[in-house]
Amino acid sequence: MPRLASPQLLHSFLNPLYALGSVGFYFKVLFRMRGTGFLYLLLWCALLALPAAWRSDQVMDYLRALNIPQLVAQLPASYLNSQGVLTPEDPKDDFLLLKNEAGAPAIAYNPGGKALEGEALEAPVEFGAEFVRIRTSKGPVELPYSGFFELNTTFHPAQLAGMLDALLSIGAQTVWSVLVLWFFFILAFNSLLDACIARFVMLAFFKIRTTFLCALRLCCYANTAVGVLLCSQFFVSFPLSYTVMVLVPLIYIVLFSRLFRLELSREGVEGFAKKYAPGAVPPAGRKAFDSSAYDGSMYRREQERRAREEQGQGGKSDLPEDPLSQELAAREQKQNTDRPAAFAKAAPGGEGKDPHGMPEDPGVKPQGGADNPQNPRGGGPGGSGFFEA
């Protein structure tokens, strides 16, 4: 078992803070944290559900103190028509104010729509003509009768009292479990939607070609801020539309993509790979991290070159070459020049060394292209396997 003081475990606990405040942290998410997106999201939701469950338990304690189930059983007999409108069987019972054992107003039975005044305004629960209004610290919540009662039936206060009693008797662990699932489903769906948008934004605006799984992992961590906003609603009343929930993670993706392009331009492909995706010794059973990177123009030139080769035309593209493309082409030409000499010396009768005097490494294989028929497209800078998950 890992020690609590180990740096790796400490960094795991600090990942939500890094995801909230550090754009550079997403380099680690992209290159070194494969397969952790939904697991991180589930653990983050379990943590968020703790304060939310505590707040929910406080509200339930408040309703228990008002003896709401017992007071609901005292409501007059009523009828719920096909339009979901509640009417008392006795027209004289169109308004009734029920108080708890302490004498505090608890329920206002008001199917007649009378304007509340005096003590009736302090009642936390109001039975109106079409809905039940519950006044909370975040504002009133209206629940229509058609959502949880059968229409064209007699309204049974005793049945409703039993339902409320069962709801208020739920334990804190059950409330926590329900809130974990509630947080997770919202954030997971939001991550899937953001990943679709983020992949397009990264390619169209920043010329970063990535897989859907990598974009999904980035969005799972970027939804950390959305989880904080959802949890805050249990304590502070503020509007949170779904549009805002979608846009917040995309802000992190845009900032990360901008930093990605700046670092790639400054460090170059080799320096960028050494700094952020070394992949020198991958874990047991794991593939080495793919540190290939290319922009949209390089990918377009590569597609044109392959099309000319298939048509047997050959030749050179008339498009201007950028410095990064020239550097990659020179490196590839040098490798093609050195490889026959190294293979010739490693052949029977040779010394088994490369032109620099180093022993030939039998474990080194080409990354792709014609020398590797199992991976003809490759994962290097000239291939199309950028950031494979």
What are the tens digits of pLDDT across the range 1-32?
344 445 555 667 889 999 999 999 999 999 98
Note the pLDDT of residue 281.
36
- The 3-state secondary structure of 179-227 reads HHHHHHHHHHHHHHHHHHHHHHHHHHHHCCCCCHHHHHHHHHHHCHHHH
More confident residue, 252 or 87: 252
Among 39-53, 165-179, 196-210, 265-279, the least confident range: 265-279
More confident residue, 208 or 314: 208
Note the pLDDT of residue 76.
86
Instruction: Give the mean model confidence (pLDDT) for residues 346-372.
Output: 43
Contact 28, 221 (CB under 8 A): no
Angle (CA) 216-221-226 rounded to 5° is: 105
Note the pLDDT of residue 131.
83
Check residue 67 and give left, alpha or beta (phi > 0: left; psi -120 to 50: alpha). Answer: left
Note the pLDDT of residue 166.
84
Among 44-58, 92-106, 169-183, the least confident range: 92-106
How would residue 160 be classed by pLDDT, with cut points 50, 70 and 90? confident
Report whether pLDDT(254) > 80. yes
3-state secondary structure of 107: strand
How would residue 212 be classed by pLDDT, with cut points 50, 70 and 90? very high
Note the pLDDT of residue 116.
85
Q: 292 - beta bridge partners?
A: none
Question: How far, rounded to the nearest angstrom, does the alpha carbon of residue 168 sit from its chain's CA centroid?
Answer: 32
More confident residue, 388 or 57: 57
For 30, 110, 305, 325, 355, the CA distances from 344, given in Å and listed in that order, are 40, 96, 29, 29, 10
Strands (DSSP E) contained in the chain are: 78-80, 86-88, 96-99, 105-109, 125-127, 131-136, 139-144, 153-155
For 101, 354, 383, the CA distances from 72, given in Å and listed in that order, are 14, 89, 69
DSSP state string for 342-381:
HHHHHSTTS-SB-TTSPBP-TT----SSTT-TTSSS-SST
Question: How far, rounded to the nearest angstrom, does the alpha carbon of residue 236 sit from its chain's CA centroid?
Answer: 23
**Highest-confidence segment of 66-75, 160-169, 188-197:** 188-197
Beta pairing class for 105-109 and 125-127: parallel
Instruction: Give the mean model confidence (pLDDT) for residues 367-381.
Output: 41
Q: Which of 103, 100, 111, 161 is nearest to 133 (CA)?
A: 111
pLDDT digits (tens, 9 = 90+) for 300-356: 565 676 677 777 654 444 444 455 556 666 666 666 666 555 555 544 554 444 444
Note the pLDDT of residue 2.
40
Structure tokens at 182: 């509630």
pLDDT digits (tens, 9 = 90+) for 228-251: 999 998 888 788 899 999 999 999
How would residue 137 be classed by pLDDT, with cut points 50, 70 and 90? low
Report whether pLDDT(133) > 50. yes
Among 18-27, 142-151, 244-253, 378-387, the least confident range: 378-387
Other Cβ atoms within 10 Å of 175 Cβ, number:
18
Contact 228, 187 (CB under 8 A): no
Note the pLDDT of residue 279.
52
Note the pLDDT of residue 151.
78
Note the pLDDT of residue 211.
93
Other Cβ atoms within 10 Å of 84 Cβ, number:
16
Note the pLDDT of residue 8.
59
Note the pLDDT of residue 295.
43
How would residue 62 be classed by pLDDT, with cut points 50, 70 and 90? confident
More confident residue, 367 or 185: 185
Among 31-35, 134-138, 298-302, the least confident range: 298-302
For 58-68, b where at least 16 C-beta lie within 10 A, e where not — what string? eebeebeebbb
Contact 211, 387 (CB under 8 A): yes
Contact 220, 38 (CB under 8 A): yes
**Cβ contacts of 61 within 8 Å, gap of 6 or more:** none
Report whether pLDDT(204) > 70. yes
**Cβ contacts of 151 within 8 Å, gap of 6 or more:** 80, 81, 82, 83, 84
More confident residue, 123 or 216: 216
What mean pLDDT is reported for the chain?
Answer: 76
Report whether pLDDT(164) > 60. yes
Other Cβ atoms within 10 Å of 358 Cβ, number:
9
Q: Which of 70, 19, 75 is nearest to 47 (CA)?
A: 19
Q: Which of 202, 156, 214 is nearest to 31 (CA)?
A: 214
